[in-house]
Amino acid sequence: MKSNNLTIRTILFLIAFLIATPGFSQQPDNQKKMPTKDEIMEMSYQDLLNMPFEQLIQLANVVGVSAEDLLQMIMNKDVSSASKTKEKVFQSPLSTTVITKEELTASGVTSIAEALRLVPGMIVREKTPGNYDLHIRGNDNTPPKNVNLYSEDAMSLVMIDNRPVFNYSFGGTFWETLPIDLNDVERIEVIRGPSSALYGPNAVGGVINIITKHPDSSKPTANANLQMGTQNNRIFNGGISGGVGKKFKYRVSGNYQYKERFQDDFYVFDINKRMSYDQMDSLHMYWGNAFQKPTHADTLFKEKITSKNLATDKFGANVFLYYDLNKEVNFVLSAGTQKSEVVSTTLGNAAIPYVGRTSNTQYVDVRAKAYGLDFQTNYMFGDQEVEKSNPGYHINPNIFNAQLEYDYKIGTLTLRPGVSYQATMYTDKKYVDIDAKEGFLNGDKRLSGIAGFFRADYKPFERLRLIAAIRADKYDIPDKTYLTYQFISTFNLNENNILRAVYSRANRGPFIVDSHADLTAASVPHVLSLYWSGNQNLKLPVMDMVEFGYRLKLFGRMMIDLEAFHNTTKDYSYFNLDSMVYKVQTGQPSRKGYIDYRNFDMNTVQNGITCNISVVVDKKINFSVFGTYQVTKINDFYPRTLGFMLTNLQTGLNAGNPKKVSVITPDSLVNTTNKSTPNVFGGMSLSYYPTHKLSISATGYFYTSQIIETTKVDVTNNTAKKNYFDGIAGVPDMYSVKAKFIPNLKVSYKFWKENSLYINARNFLGNSEKEFAYTDQIKGTYLVGVELNF
């Protein structure tokens, strides 16, 4: 009966089609009377075989791209970040993964950070709902036994359309401060491995370049994606685009996300248990046997964390203007704003691992391309409280970038010289008493750097490609020039097999806090003050990497991508206790500790392998499985916490022995394994389109267990733990993050044209294990949504 109905419908469509088609090739309006793609796909073979060939061709045009080409599109996507020219992922000279907008939509990821769970080589842990810790390949929590700041990924460069969105004050990326959201993304390109010769400082672990959408035509379009669910989740994305004439186009977008925590209590280090929101205000400061209640204690905690439930609350709006003069000359201007408040982890040393963080920033970015010249400049400014209500952490960032590159081709040789300039200025002068040294900067603090770079891409013969990139960065602080480079070769055994080899060196850039810290912290009021100082002569961390890769296409539908890497990183800098002075003065604390930033002999050595297997079964099914195995050694590491050193220096400190200096002797250094990066991590995805209306996407992400050590713990000296609040023995020596598998499922149904209703279950088995030390349980989130496209 169903078959008969279909046949009748087909005949009716054909009659309509025949009526509409006299001279159809001259009348594009008749397209409106064509059967839709869905209707054509539901036609039987018999119907299609009985059709005149001319009409069949017309129907094929409605269906669109051929299946074989579709396979290529799904599996072998365009990428531009890896070599700064558009090419296929299969040919990419570096370890590269591209996530397209179609994959983002299908997978059901709810944020750009979560989307990176679809990328091989990424470690992605959710600290609190919507707030993620991300690392490319690893080197997490280096050095261990220090503050949480060193658990941030300060060595991976995140960019939006080549504009760095890096946090130059402390290092790393505050993901919630990205003004764009999934709706703005055309694709996300991830390069694993050091790439600062191509992208500049901080592209050490790798690069994440988020490419925004460009309207295809001037036709006005609008889209919205709205989803709501458990934990009071509200995620709204919307945008309109269009143009005037053929040359001018625009796109305006907005996004909003709100997520709540799965629990309303907070872990407190020194009592080793969780306390309610209201109980937190009753905590007393603690030192030795003395208890002191902080001034304004009743409001202090609630100022830091304004709601017991809030995890993520963020908003962003953007406008993009495009002017395409001709094929060779085009301009893009984008500008936007964002406002966010999240409860995430502290950067510094605190009584609890949580802190509120707010940000309100704006940016403008201009890109121009003309006859091989490529110019980009941008400016970001705003107001950020990276640890809310802590006067030392309320700052105004100002970041300026300008870059000019030129593409010059001679036969199979492409040369790309360029120059770039960056200036960053962070200030806390609006929020602190500079004379009283209330801030950690106490005024305007600047960093700048100018760079020249050159890239040559040469094919001596068809199968062999050689790339050399070299870059010199001259910084003002430290007053040094750093040379970074990449030497890459790819060899096509044949069209289905490619061998790759990479040798590269990259360096991290200077940070404001390393260079300019000027903080006075009363750890115990009237008893002990600590003084933090930056260091303007630090050596910058440098990574050297050797990598070999092999890509293989099988059966025209499977791609296997293997990469084996070995890297060493040296010249780490971090802060440690230098000395302590005892002096009794009226109104002054008797003990003063001096903390400074120094380079240490510590180095890390990482060996690993990543494998990604993608299979496109047909138009209806594709899937991928990927995983990384890695081991990282930390050599010449001083395995003591700041707390231990603090206690050690205080012992015997008195009028007769008024100054003691920390001494790190060579025999106190150890070689150890970095336990904070999981040995194995990876994911999988399966997309299934049983009909053109229905799509089902299952994704999964997993990692093995890790151990995170902070300054709160010291396995060699438990007495060092009594730092802050009501000190009760029993703080765990180190935090073990258990292995976790996070399965997700999205089922979407197109109810009309390109408009869909969907259900989206994240971590749907409800595994509640914490994904980061001392923070929140992350349980299942269940959403319903609608996606509208006009």
Partner 1 sequence: MKKVRLLLCLAGLFYLALGYGQNEKFKALFVYNFTNYVEWPGGTSGNFIITVVGYSPIVSELEAISKLKKVGNATIEVKVVNSASEIGSTNIVYVPAAKKKSVPEIADAMAGKPTLVITDMAQGKFGINFVEVNSKQSFQISKSNIEEHRLKVNSSLLELGTVVN
HSE at residue 474, side-chain half, CA atoms within 13 A, is 7
Min CB(725)–partner 1 separation in Å: 43
Task: Provide the 10 A C-beta neighbour count for residue 617.
Answer: 14
By the rule CB under 8 A, 31 interacts with partner 1: no
Question: Which residue in 617, 664, 765, 786 binds partner 1 (CB under 8 A)?
Answer: 617
182-190, 478-486, 552-560, 669-677 -> range binding partner 1 (CB under 8 A): 552-560
By the rule CB under 8 A, 680 interacts with partner 1: no
Kindly provide the residue ranges of all beta strands, DSSP E only, lying in 110-205, ordered along the sequence: 122-128, 131-136, 156-160, 163-164, 185-192
By the rule CB under 8 A, 279 interacts with partner 1: no
Min CB(743)–partner 1 separation in Å: 15
Q: Which CB, 555 or 752, lies closer to partner 1?
A: 555
> Which of 127, 136, 270 is closest to 190 using CA atoms?
136
Question: Which residue in 27, 31, 61, 673 binds partner 1 (CB under 8 A)?
Answer: 61
Q: Which amino acid is at 52?
A: P
Do residues 764 and 780 lie in contact, with contact meaning Cβ atoms separated by under 8 Å?
yes
- Helix (H) or strand (E) run with residue 41 in it: helix 37-41
Question: Which residue in 29, 435, 495, 667 binds partner 1 (CB under 8 A)?
Answer: 495
224-232, 319-327, 542-550, 616-624 -> range binding partner 1 (CB under 8 A): 616-624
Question: Three-class SS string for 96-116?
Answer: EEEEEHHHHHHHCCCCHHHHH
- Residue 550 pairs in a beta bridge with 499, 562
Do residues 482 and 452 lie in contact, with contact meaning Cβ atoms separated by under 8 Å?
no
Min CB(47)–partner 1 separation in Å: 11
How far, in Å, CA of 194 to CA of 191, rounded?
9
Question: Which residue in 6, 16, 56, 669 binds partner 1 (CB under 8 A)?
Answer: 56
Min CB(443)–partner 1 separation in Å: 58
Question: Which residue in 228, 434, 470, 625 binds partner 1 (CB under 8 A)?
Answer: 625
Q: Which CB, 555 or 751, lies closer to partner 1?
A: 555
Place of tokens 């995620």: 235
Min CB(246)–partner 1 separation in Å: 17
By the rule CB under 8 A, 562 interacts with partner 1: no
By the rule CB under 8 A, 20 interacts with partner 1: no
Min CB(60)–partner 1 separation in Å: 4
By the rule CB under 8 A, 483 interacts with partner 1: no
Question: Which residue in 11, 60, 222, 584 binds partner 1 (CB under 8 A)?
Answer: 60
By the rule CB under 8 A, 49 interacts with partner 1: yes
By the rule CB under 8 A, 462 interacts with partner 1: no
By the rule CB under 8 A, 494 interacts with partner 1: yes
48-56, 141-149, 375-383, 773-781 -> range binding partner 1 (CB under 8 A): 48-56
Structure tokens at 282: 């009753």
Do residues 256 and 315 lie in contact, with contact meaning Cβ atoms separated by under 8 Å?
yes
By the rule CB under 8 A, 621 interacts with partner 1: yes
How far, in Å, CA of 515 to CA of 469, rounded?
28
By the rule CB under 8 A, 728 interacts with partner 1: no
How far, in Å, CA of 54 to CA of 17, rounded?
12
Residue-wise DSSP of 301-364:
HHHHSS-SSEEEEEEEEEEEEEEE-SSSEEEEEEEEEEEEEEEEE-SS--SSSEEEEEEEEEEE
Q: Which value, to the nearest 10 degrees, does the dihedral of the CA atoms of residues 54, 56, 61, 64 take?
A: -160
DSSP code, position 84: S
How far, in Å, CA of 308 to CA of 497, rounded?
54
Question: Which residue in 214, 274, 619, 693 binds partner 1 (CB under 8 A)?
Answer: 619
Structure tokens at 634: 């930390």
Q: Which CB, 74 or 89, lies closer to partner 1?
A: 74
Q: Which CB, 14 or 530, lies closer to partner 1?
A: 14
- Tell me which residues in 62-81 interact with partner 1 (CB under 8 A): 63-69, 71
By the rule CB under 8 A, 45 interacts with partner 1: yes
Contact footprint for partner 1 (CB under 8 A): 45-46, 48-49, 53-54, 56-57, 59-61, 63-69, 71, 494-495, 555-558, 615-621, 623, 625
